Each structure stands twice: as C-alpha cells, then as structure tokens.
Copies of this chain bind each other. A is one copy, B any other.
Amino acid sequence: MKKLRIGMIGYGFMGRTHSNAFRSVNNFFDVPYEPVLQTICARNEERAGKFASNWGFASTETDWRKVVASPDIDLIDIASPNDTHAEIAIAAAEAGKMVMCEKPLGRNGAESEAIVDAVEKAGVPNMVWYNYRRVPAVTLAKQLIDEGRLGRIFHYRAKFLQDWTISTDLPQGGEGLWRLDVKVAGSGVTGDLLAHCIDTAMWLNGGIEEVSAVTETFIKSRKHNLTGAVEPVGIDDASLFLARFKNGSLATFEATRYARGHKALYTLEINGEDASIMWDLHDLHRLQYFDHKDEGRLRGWKNVHITDREHPYMANWWVPGLQIGYEHTFIHQVADFLTAVGGGKAAPPTFRDGLATDDVTDAVLQAAATRSWTKVKERA
C-alpha cells in the first residue's frame, strides 16, 4: 500500500485525536494509503519528543517551516492554535502538500478566504476536521435527509453546552488555555462550539441566509496563567442566534460554556413535514427518529442504537450492540479523506466548506455587535 507521510503541527488534545486516527485507520478500513507518522512539530522540543515517543512519530521538529519544506512529507496536518492556521496552511499549499486543518479554518472569513485561495490555486487535497459529520448517527441522518424522508423542512435547532469555564478562578491565556485568549482563538464559543453546529447544520439543511444574535462574556476579567496579570476577557462565553435557512426553515442555535451540568452536549434536531430527527453527542451512538408515516397509534420517537452493520461505518467495527466512542469520528474522517484522495475526489468538509462556516460565525458576531439581523456573505 502506498504510504502517506504525515507532518503534524501541534501536539495538544487534537494532536492526540489526529495521531490516533492516522495510526489506526488501516486496522479497520480498507483505504488506498497507509498514513505514516513522519514528523511531529512543536516549539518545545522536549514535549515534541515525548509526544513522538508516545505515538511513534519517526522524527521531531520545532520549526514548522522545515516540516512544510521537507521532501519527506506528503501531508501537513494542522493541530496548532487557531492563529497559526492561515500561515501554515498557505505555506503548505504553496509547497504542494496536501493539507488537513483543525477547525475553525481561520479566525475569521478573511483568513479563511486566503487559505482557500491558496489550496485551490495549488490544487492540493484539503479537509477541515469537522469530525462530527462522521459520527455514524449523524451520517445516517444525512442519508435520510438526502433520500427525502423528512419532506419540507420547517425547523432546525442546535446547541453546544459546556460548563468548564464557570469558575472565576480559571485563568486565561497560555498553554492549554489559548481557547480563552481572543487574539489566538479569534472568538470564544462562537468559533469553538457554534462552528461545529453550523458545519453540521449546513451539511444537513443547506445554507443559512441571515441571523440575529446575542453574545455575552459572563466573567469579565481573569488572571493570565503565565503573567498573573488580571486582564479583561476578550472572548464570548455564550453565543446564541436565530437563523433563517435558504430553504425557509427557522432555527435557534446556542453555544455556551456556562450551562451547568453539561460537559459537551452538542444536540441537533431537524423537523420536516414527514419526519424528524434528533441526535446528541452525549449518547453519540444513538439516533432518534420520528416518522409520521408510521401507523397512527404506534407513532413515536424511535431510539436507534447505531451499532449495526448496515449503519454508516459500523460494519468496520465490532458486532451489533457494541458502541463506539468519540475518537472513531476522526478515524472515519481519515478513512474518507484517503479514499477520496485515492479516487481523485474532493473530501468534504473541504476548506471551502470551512470558509462557509466562518462566514456564518462572522455574521453571528457582527449581528451581536450591531444588534441587527445580518445577512451571511454570499460567495459565488
């Protein structure tokens, strides 16, 4: 099998999920490439070494430019903080490498547009790690919608609820906490959590036309974890919006890190004339389905345990009744990417898809700032 040598930039939480995916995909999926963990790149050499040893990377590097330039690398995988995405991705494209990038693509639409221009000009395969599309239950939802099972769509609603930043003692900035630093992250929950909801929503229900939004920063200042200085918090802790999709359906979206009792509760629901679907990340192996065409007295929400061979991706795992977990979604994403690349096809979500999501988060932030209904940017 043809080897595909990975140069990975970043070694945090996402570095782990990506490494595991590249390392495991061939055990479970029949794909045209064998990913090779070639180089891990991090500014801190000791940490890079430890990470390389743990995951089996062949080499380490502290300067990402060298990885991008290396002839030993086929694909650059960007798992570093958001403020580095654009520069690395553009350089990688210009070097003719395939590029995968953790979400969000850029910190805003302008950054993302530049990235898209670069990969499209270079003609290199590219993909954003919006992994939740590859939850088998979510993929099944997509199939059902594409088959027309739901009929005309009236409503969409999505939430991503967490509670891990409620404490006033939590510092901001620096290692591991860059998601709380607006300069690095670009925004708070809007780019971090809402972006997931928006990517899935547009995949399932098409484009979003306009939004009205409100954001809030509940805790206004925090100590910096490196300097100790108390500084204003720049990110949004919560971001809520109303939306109208191009297909005429209405939606509520909400993301927050202040919903006590929820750790990573990403939920989505879509209501059609004929059928409805619900899913949530806390029980990701289940899909709720209501079919109005069922016999009247037996209509109800069906709780489908997505572990059968006929469910998306599941024939590659265990036997019916035995669930998979979170990291499998990354393995599925790598499998689909490799298959697409092998077949000369684009592998969605492409960077252009990632840009479309950033256009919506831009509109959300603008709508919140201007207190006005805001159109999502139209692109050709």
Contacts and interface: CB of A to CB of B under 8 A. Distances in A.
Given A240-B250, A285-B325, 5 more contacts: A27-B55, A154-B260, A155-B238, A287-B300, A317-B325
A258 B318 contact: no
A84 interface: no
12 contacts: A23-B27, A154-B166, A154-B238, A154-B256, A164-B320, A212-B214, A260-B271, A261-B301, A263-B320, A283-B283, A285-B325, A323-B325
A223 interface: no
A286 B162 CA distance: 18
A297 B284 contact: no
Contacts of A26: 54
A183 B160 CA distance: 39
A336 interface: no
A262 interface: yes
Interface residues of A, number: 91
Copies of the chain in the assembly? 4
Nearest to A237: B154
A373 interface: yes
A303 B302 CA distance: 6
Contacts of A159: 157
Interface in A247-262: 248, 250, 252, 254, 256, 258-262
A273 interface: yes
A41 B371 CA distance: 49
A231 interface: no
A226 interface: no
B319 A13 contact: yes
A263 B302 contact: no
A17 B265 CA distance: 29
A203 interface: no
A241 B242 contact: yes
Interface string A263-292: 111000001111110000111111101111
A322 B264 CA distance: 7
A152 to B, nearest CB: 8
A200 to B, nearest CB: 16
A324 B325 contact: yes
A377 interface: no
A287 B317 CA distance: 24
Interface in A303-353: 303-305, 307-308, 310-311, 317-328
Contacts of A262: 276, 321
Contact of A252 (B252, B276, B326): B252
A264 B320 contact: yes
A265 B321 contact: yes
Contacts of A240: 242, 250, 252
A179 to B, nearest CB: 11
Contacts of A162: 321
A20 interface: yes
Given A154-B256, A155-B256, A322-B325, A214 B238 contact: no
A218 B154 contact: yes
A304 B310 contact: no
A321 B282 contact: yes
